[in-house]
């Protein structure tokens, strides 16, 4: 698969919520890309070749010719600047700030606690699932309050914006992987249901990826 006029490569892992954010953006913007699987379960993120792309050893990484960008937020902003179709940010400044806020709550105050490297670190001290659920639920409680007066069909209104790119994979993973009881978070659960009807989001979800194991859709 080749992108128009360039050869975008996305280093990704099927279950990575951070990679999923970028996959959704690429789908929304209609950008084709080459999917390069990095098997986090096998430790491929620590291979010397991959560390040349991202010394932190995390996916996603986007390679666009000579340009190498890691970190989903930076990648999304790069894509937004280069491919303005289907804007990821609203023009209204307050709504735009809300999108940044949601994105950063997920990427700084929820996802890092459930990262593989962290789950391995806490193992033996506390049950990693309990640890992850605690932090996810704390973040979800804040998101419910924050979005209460702003959500429409989607997180910040009736259009899909950046906030949704962070919320959709975070909620999906909370349900499937960490067995969070979403009845505590009715707004997020409603958004999850709305996302399930959007092909651009569903095609980016873990079980639809080329490196997903066959059992992942169950």
Which residues of the shown chain bind ligand GSH in the complex (CB under 6 A)? 16-18, 40, 45, 57-60, 71-73, 107, 115-117
Residue 97 corresponds to which tokens in the numbers above?
């700030």
Q: How far is the CB of 114 from ligand GSH (least distance, A)?
A: 8
159-193 exposure pattern, b = at least 16 Cβ within 10 A, e = fewer: ebbbbbbbbbbbbbbbeeebebebeebebbbebbe
Q: Rounded to 5 degrees, what are φ and ψ at 181?
A: -80, 105
Nearer to ligand GSH, 17 or 209 (CB): 17
Nearer to ligand GSH, 104 or 184 (CB): 104
Q: How far is the CB of 40 from ligand GSH (least distance, A)?
A: 5
Nearer to ligand GSH, 99 or 157 (CB): 99
Q: How far is the CB of 115 from ligand GSH (least distance, A)?
A: 4
Q: How far is the CB of 43 from ligand GSH (least distance, A)?
A: 8
Nearer to ligand GSH, 90 or 128 (CB): 128
Cα–Cα distance list, 128 to 45, 122, 167, 177, 204 (Å): 21, 6, 21, 12, 26
């Amino acid at each position: 698969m080749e992108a128009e006029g360039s050869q975008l490569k996305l280093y990704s892992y099927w279950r990575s919520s951070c990679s999923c954010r970028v996959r959704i953006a690429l789908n929304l913007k209609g950008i084709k890309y080459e999917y390069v699987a990095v098997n986090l379960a096998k430790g491929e993120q620590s291979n010397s070749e991959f560390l040349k792309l991202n010394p932190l050893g995390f996916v996603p990484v986007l390679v666009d010719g000579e340009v190498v960008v890691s970190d989903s937020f930076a990648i999304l902003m790069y894509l937004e600047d280069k491919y303005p179709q289907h804007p990821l940010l609203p023009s209204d400044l307050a709504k735009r700030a809300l999108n940044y806020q949601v994105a950063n709550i997920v990427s700084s105050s929820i996802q890092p606690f459930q990262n593989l490297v962290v789950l391995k670190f806490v193992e033996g001290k506390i049950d990693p699932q309990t640890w992850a659920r605690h932090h996810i639920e704390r973040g979800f409680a804040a998101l419910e309050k924050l979005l209460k007066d702003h959500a429409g069909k989607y997180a910040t209104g009736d259009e899909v914006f950046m906030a949704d790119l962070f919320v959709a994979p975070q909620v999906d993973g909370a349900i499937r992987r960490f067995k969070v009881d979403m009845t505590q978070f009715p707004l997020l659960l409603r958004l999850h249901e709305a996302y399930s009807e959007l092909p651009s989001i569903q095609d980016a979800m873990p079980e639809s990826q080329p490196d997903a194991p066959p059992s992942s859709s169950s």
